[in-house]
Amino acid sequence: MIDFLELIKYKKNNKFYNSKEINFIVQSYLNDHIDEQNMTLWLKEIYEYGMNIDETVLYTESIINSGEKIEFDSLDGYVIDKHSTGGVGDKVSLILGPILVACGCFVPMVVGRHLGHTGGTLDKLESIPGYNGLINLDKFKKIVKKVGISIIGQTSEICPADRKIYSLRDKTNTIASLPLICGSIMSKKISEGIHGLVLDIKYGNGAFLETKKDGQRLGKLLSLIGKKFNVDVKYLGTNMNQPLGNFSGLNCEVIESIDCLKGRGADDLMDVVFELGRVACSLAKIDNSKQKMIDVINNGKAYEIFEKMVYEHGGDINRIHCNYTDCIDIKANESGSIEFIDTKKIGDAVNYINKLKGTRDNSSGAEFLKKNNDKVSKGDVILRLFSNDLNTLKLRERLVRESYIIK
Ligand code: URA
């Protein structure tokens, strides 16, 4: 009989878990055989002392086995996904996914909701009228086969143990633990039945990891875990010292993504899309990838795939509007150039105004009119905050104004 309280002490005593012990921890919590209080003690120990790579692999495997693992044997193409560690204005999945499909890949994508100050791809998709991101796995597989891409949230069929542990980590401030992050991200991705994965590891003041070096450590660990499960993983570190693209919010980010798919994307955003796309295409053995990606944007194929995916999920692309009633313009209080943007504060403000009286205000968000190093004159609008409630905007106006340093 395994004693859970003994297992909690392992890390402090420099002992390593075997597969039976890790399974016992994950399964016991999933099946309510251990309570939140004891599981929190275990999470705090891992947060404090970590786990080695072998234990992290066992933990990842145990989480995968708590749900179903998808198989895509009959697809005629490379099956790939892209994952970002989270940023502000990061809508790359909505743009790159259809582009990769138009270049010949299949993209089954399980995504998350907003976390901390970062936006969630599922929240953005669900702002499309009718879009159902919580379909069952059978339907998910059918859409991937038919359209090439389906983007869904984590349902109870995929890694249910992660869902439960993740929610406890969120409540107990134990998110920022490398082995727990790796297990959580990689279990979901490996369960998708992919051959390859491209990771966008964000670093900077709007990311969970502040430095490029921290990002590299995470990237290396995630790649190692992928290898153990026969998934080719490549990672890129990208800068999050300012919001990505022109908008952050819900409908406004979907509209911006559509603009990108129609060839009207902001340079900083398209640079990240093309860089990650290049890496993804190298995994899929697609040559001349930059030109191919530009071609599928110019000939309308990438947009058509996005439109079909939205349709298959019940969404109505013609009803996506960003009709807000109120806005506040944040203006430069002096002339000079933008020296610093506190991206995390802006992300926090956007997530705050995205919620209106407990529901989602799909038309709320922020438009970034000036970015780092841009020259401004006193009185120029640097950011526009918008929503359907002026009071909500006013409550975040100061925070956003204080996020900019002009020198
Ligand atoms: N995203 C996840 O899915 N899990 C984590 O632990 C962190 C980010």
For the chain, 407 residues long, the average pLDDT of each consecutive 10-residue run is 92 96 98 97 97 98 97 92 96 98 98 87 96 97 98 94 93 91 96 97 92 93 97 97 98 98 98 98 98 98 98 97 97 97 97 90 98 98 98 97 97
Residue 325's CB: how many other CB atoms inside 10 A?
Answer: 10
**Ligand 1 geometric centre to CA of 184 (Å):** 5
Report how far residue 191's alpha carbon sits from residue 193's, in angstroms, rounded to the nearest whole number: 5
**Ligand 1 geometric centre to CA of 84 (Å):** 10
Buried-exposed string 139-176: b where 16+ CB fall within 10 A, e elsewhere: ebbebbeebbbbbbbbbeebbbbbbbbbeebeeeebbe
The answer to whether residue 20 is catalytic is: no
Dihedral of the CA atoms 368, 374, 380, 386 (nearest 10)?
A: 10
Predicted model pTM: 0.95
Q: Residue 196: its pLDDT value, please?
A: 98
Contact yes or no for 152/132 (Cβ under 8 A): no
Give one DSSP letter per residue of 207-271, joined into a string. SSB-SHHHHHHHHHHHHHHHHHTT-EEEEEEEE-SS-SSSEEESHHHHHHHHHHHTT---HHHHH
Query: Measured from the CB, is residue 112 less than 6 Å from ligand 1?
Result: yes
Query: Measured from the CB, is residue 184 less than 6 Å from ligand 1?
Result: yes
**CA-proximal residue: ligand 1, atom 6 (nearest):** 181
Query: With left for phi above 0 and alpha for psi between -120 and 50, is residue 25 left, alpha or beta?
Result: alpha
Give one DSSP letter per residue of 64-115, joined into a string. HHTS-----TT-SS-BEEEEE---SS--HHHHHHHHHHHTT-BEEEEE---B
Query: Measured from the CB, is residue 150 less than 6 Å from ligand 1?
Result: no
Query: Measured from the CB, is residue 80 less than 6 Å from ligand 1?
Result: no
In the set 60, 62, 84, 364, the catalytic residue is 84
Of 56, 90, 115, the one to substitute when testing ligand 1's pocket (max ligand atoms within 8 A of C-beta) is: 115
The answer to whether residue 264 is catalytic is: no
Residue 359's CB: how many other CB atoms inside 10 A?
Answer: 8
The answer to whether residue 69 is catalytic is: no
Q: Residue 113: its pLDDT value, please?
A: 86
Contact yes or no for 180/87 (Cβ under 8 A): no
Contact yes or no for 189/231 (Cβ under 8 A): yes
Q: Residue 114: its pLDDT value, please?
A: 84
Residue type, 238: T
| Number of Cα atoms under 13 Å in the Cβ half of residue 318 | 0
Phi (first) and psi of residue 196, to 5 degrees: -140, 155
Q: Residue 358: its pLDDT value, please?
A: 84
The answer to whether residue 124 is catalytic is: no
**CA-proximal residue: ligand 1, atom 3 (nearest):** 185
Nearest to 200 by CA among 103, 279, 313, 270: 279
The answer to whether residue 345 is catalytic is: no
